[in-house]
Structure formats: structure tokens, C-alpha cells
Amino acid sequence: MTDVVETETRVSPPRPDGLRGFASDWASDQRTFKNVSWGKAMMWIFLLSDTFVFGCFLLAYMSARMSTTVPWPNPSEVFALNIGGTEVPLILIAIMTFVLISSSGTMAMAVNFGYRRDRRKTALLMLLTALFGATFVGMQAFEWTKLISEGVRPWGNPWGAPQFGSTFFMITGFHGTHVTIGVIFLIIIARKVWRGDFDTEKRGFFTSRKGHYEIVEITGLYWHFVDLVWVFIFAFFYLW
């Protein structure tokens, strides 16, 4: 028996050091995701890939803006609202940003109560987060409608550089799609939490394990990412 153990010990290769050791850990999954569920790990990988997509979009926006010879529209004028006969610059965008940032707070509280297995508070906070997200999308639809009525198109606009319309609709539309998907997902998970599917081990989508509230945190990761992306869009489009 001792000879067998010694033989197995001699056969097992030692863990390499440096970059080879790092690559070995990732390839064999011995340490990288040892204490992380596959659901959370896959969400992080998805968010990383989505970061590259949004990064490419914002780089394209910067390239178009800095290379055009036509004056770029002034955000304070383009995104102003007439309130009581006075043009208030960026007021709608400020409200949209406040609503979306607030939703990150309610989502964080939902995750906290989820791990405490307080399903009612978790579900209510997730629904409140979804309400904030739907409000944001509604205001974004109003913003789009206003700009389209003023003549902004993907191929031009009345205030200057034609690239403004294409980059604006592409980037904000892509982000708005993410928010809409997040709202739908929040409502679905909140409904399952409210019904107690994770406590009763009811079989279904993301509910195959008893007390599996981790999906609330995974949803929160996605939502916080969407909020973070908006901070960059806000800085690039509305403050630059």
C-alpha cells in the first residue's frame, strides 16, 4: 500500500511557478473558480466581454468627434428642456442619472436581504429597482422622441456634425436595451422570490436548488454594470 502511494506521489507533477502556474490554474480550474459558482463566474465573463463592446463604441465615438471638421453640437443646448419659458440644460439627463444611480442602491439592499432569506423585502426592493429602470427607459424614449422631432437622424442633425446622430442613437440605444433586459429579468426573479420558489425547492428556471438566492446577487452584478456604463456615457456624451 505504501509503494502505491509513493508511486502516485512521484507521478503527480508539481505545480509550475510564474506565468505557467497562472495558466495552469486557469486551465485546470483548481484555484481560479474554486469558491465561485459557475453562474457568478459566467456572469463576470459576460460582463467582461460586454465591457469590450461598450469600450469599442466609446472609442469610435471619440474618434468620430475628434476627427470631424464640422463643429460638434453643444450638449447644453441639444439636451436642454424648456421649463416655464426657460431653457434648462441637461435637466432631464441629470434626473435620468439620479434615477439609475438610485437603482443601484435598492439593488444592493435586495442582495443583502436575499442572503438573509427575507423574501418579501428582497422581492419588493427588486421590483423597486425594476421601476427605477423602467422610469429611466421611459425618459430615454422621451429624449429620443424630442431629438427626432427636432430633426436628429443617424445620418445627420441640424446642429452640426452628422456623426452625432449615429453615435448617439447607437450607444444610448444599446445601453437602453441592456436596461430593458435587466428590468425584465428583475421582474422574473422578483416574482420567483416572492412566491418562495427558492425556499420550497420548486423546480424551474434558476430554481433547482433550495434556498438558491445567489441568482439575486448575479442579477445585481448585471445591474451594477449597466449603471456603471451609464456613468461613462454620461461623461462622454453630455459633459464633454
Is residue 199 domain-shared with residue 217, that is, in the same domain?
yes
pLDDT per residue as tens digits for the range 142-158: 999 999 998 888 887 88
136 and 201 together in one domain? yes
Q: What are the backbone angles phi and psi of residue 235, rounded to the nearest 5°?
A: -70, -40
Are 13 and 53 part of one and the same domain? Answer: no
Q: Are residues 182 and 147 in the same domain?
A: yes
Tell me: do 19 and 83 sit in the same domain: no
Same-domain check for residues 28 and 86: no
Higher pLDDT, 231 or 36: 231
**106 and 224 housed in the same domain:** yes
Instruction: Please state, rounded to an integer, the average pLDDT across all residues of the chain.
Output: 83
Q: What is the pLDDT of residues 109-120, one digit of tens each?
A: 999 998 888 889
Give residue 140's domain range: 37-239
Same domain (yes/no): 68, 175 = yes
Domain count of the chain? 2
Banded pLDDT at 96 (limits 50, 70, 90): very high
Residues 30 and 42 in one domain: no
What is d(CA 117, CA 112) in angstroms, rounded to the nearest whole number? 9
Looking at the structure, tell me whether residues 3 and 52 fall in a common domain: no
The grid cell for 199 is 425556499
Q: Residue 2 — pLDDT band, cuts 50, 70, 90? A: very low
69 pLDDT tier (thresholds 50, 70, 90): confident
Concatenated DSSP letters for 123-151?
HHHHHHHHHHHHHHHHHHHHHHHHHHHTT
Which span out of 16-20, 21-25, 37-41, 226-230 was modeled with the highest average pLDDT? Answer: 226-230
125: CATH = 1.20.120.80
* 27 & 111 share domain: no
Nearest to 95 by CA among 78, 81, 108, 107: 81
